[in-house]
Amino acid sequence: MPSSMPATSTRKTAATVPEAAARFSTGDAVRVANGAVFGHVRTPQYVRGKIGTVERICGRFRAPEELSRGKYDGAQRALYRVRFLQVEVWPDYHGDPSDTLDVEIYEHWLEPVRTKR
């Protein structure tokens, strides 16, 4: 495939980075931004505004919002797996209170939560 086809290079260049390069660390409490965003995003609606805990840092990847608009040379963003308690995501959740939902969320969607639960 010719190198002029940028879509092929985006995922291949993603590399794991040391945790120091990321804003949040494993175990940090984070809140998902709750803004209305047009176009393609990879942050599910059901976790917008919810608080979770960083389960791991996945590496650095280009932002899906930019990729979907044809911008393939944007900055790479840290990607996290954020763990939410199901009872916090769904107020009427039926199941064990320890049940969790892990979701991959990019750093620019996350804000710090000062008081850890």
Partner 1 sequence: MSAVHEHDDRSFELLERAFRELLIEKGVLSQAEVDERVELMYSRTPALGARVVARAWFDSEFKARLLADGSAAVRELGIDVGTLKLVVIENTPEVHNLVVCTLCSCYPRMLLGMPPDWYKSIAYRARAVREPRAVLAEFGVEPEPGTTIRVHDSTADMRYLVLPRRPAGTENLSEADCAALVTRDAMIGAG
Residues that bind partner 1 (CB under 8 A): 1-2, 4-5, 11-12, 14, 42-44, 46, 58-59, 61, 64, 79, 81, 86, 89-90, 94-96, 98-106
H/E segment holding residue 102? strand 100-106
Q: What is the smallest separation between the CB atom of 28 and partner 1, expressed in angstroms?
A: 18
Q: What is the smallest separation between the CB atom of 53 and partner 1, expressed in angstroms?
A: 13
Q: Distance between CA 99 and CA 60 in Å, rounded?
A: 28
Q: Distance between CA 24 and CA 27 in Å, rounded?
A: 9
Q: What is the smallest separation between the CB atom of 29 and partner 1, expressed in angstroms?
A: 18
